[in-house]
Amino acid sequence: MSDFLTAALYKFVDLPDFADLQAPLQAFCESHDVKGTLLLAAEGINGTIAGPEAGVRAVLAHLRADPRLAALEHKEAHSDKAPFYRMKVRLKQEIVTMGVEGINPNRMAGQYVKPQDWNALISDPDVVLIDTRNDYEVSIGTFEGAINPATTSFSELPDWVRREMGPEGRLQDRGGKKPKVAMFCTGGIRCEKSTAFMRTQGFDEVYHLEGGILKYLETVPEAQSSWRGECFVFDERVSVDHALQPGHFALCRSCRDPVSAEDKLSPLYVEGVSCPGCHDKTTEAQKEGFRERQRQIAFAQQRNERHIGIKRGLAAKQAEATEKTSL
């Protein structure tokens, strides 16, 4: 039986008193043995928490007791291992960092499209389909025909959009009118903010996938699916297939990007030290540090002990997801 419940949540809502919520929320989570990261900002809340099921549900109920968060939704998963080692409630300028002032998804986001209606929308040749996720996510799976902006962080997306609005870009005016745009991400939060940004740039017909890729995979039968590949997720599964079962990718413990079976055959892949994508991006001193960590992991495994470094690698990726990109 699974001992831990993980809940991923976000909501764009006006929270002018967000700083006052930090200490009570931190204390409430700690008192219920719940760990993870929650971000608070004037624009809302975002994060992932985990712990005993009763504790996590108590925190969710505590959040929803605030009338502004009464409609807060979450996605959950069960595990027999603790994914986090401490609780952090942080104050931020944005709950998902785009770096553009004046964006309010609570009032400006594009039109939701339900998963069962998504195929019809993106099959329209007049629709420009954009994957708002980071390059390492797109590399293992995306929707057929989607444009990959090749960003390394969500904050790079606005500049990409502005470039593509130019004379040679894929978002240039067509017959004096901006094209229809459909955007998607893993769970929804980046879509809400990116479509709100698009509307500030003069795009009137902007759509986003309700519930994100994960809801689409859950809803649309694989035989009717326009999804190709696997979906990167920020937990110990690394990726999931169309049935939402663990996929075929592992995690590089150096750069924390996904690695395939083919990557592991490369001479540049050294378990726990490097992969083809990051081998040339770390110094020899850093690699030696990774080698030592890997030796400690192997030693712990020989003694049938769990090495915290393994989980910290995943926790770091989860924290990165929460603070830079998220769902």
Q: Model confidence over 261-306: pLDDT tens digits?
A: 999 999 999 999 999 999 999 999 999 999 998 888 887 777 766 5
Q: Hey, what are 256's tokens?
A: 């924390």
What pLDDT does 300 receive?
76
Q: What is the pLDDT of residues 46-104, one digit of tens each?
A: 999 999 999 999 999 999 999 999 999 998 888 777 878 899 999 999 999 999 998 99
Taking CA 326 as the corner, what is the angle to CA 323 and CA 327, rounded to the nearest 5 degrees?
165
What pLDDT does 316 receive?
46
How many angstroms separate the CA atoms of 139 and 179, rounded?
Answer: 26
Collapsing DSSP to helix, strand or coil, 276 comes out as: coil
110 in Cβ contact with 163 (< 8 Å): no
What pLDDT does 311 receive?
46
pLDDT band with cut points at 50, 70 and 90 for residue 307: low
Of 185, 191, 252, 275, which is the active-site residue?
185
50 in Cβ contact with 4 (< 8 Å): yes
- Pick 29 or 293 by higher pLDDT: 29
180 in Cβ contact with 127 (< 8 Å): yes
Domains of the chain: 4-91 (3.30.70.100), 105-229 (3.40.250.10), 249-323 (no CATH)
Q: Does residue 325 register a pLDDT over 50?
A: no
pTM given for the model:
0.85
Whether 191 is a known active-site residue: answer: no
Cβ count near 21 (within 10 Å): 18
User: Which amino acid is residue 225, in one-letter code?
Assistant: S
How many angstroms separate the CA atoms of 302 and 293, rounded?
Answer: 14
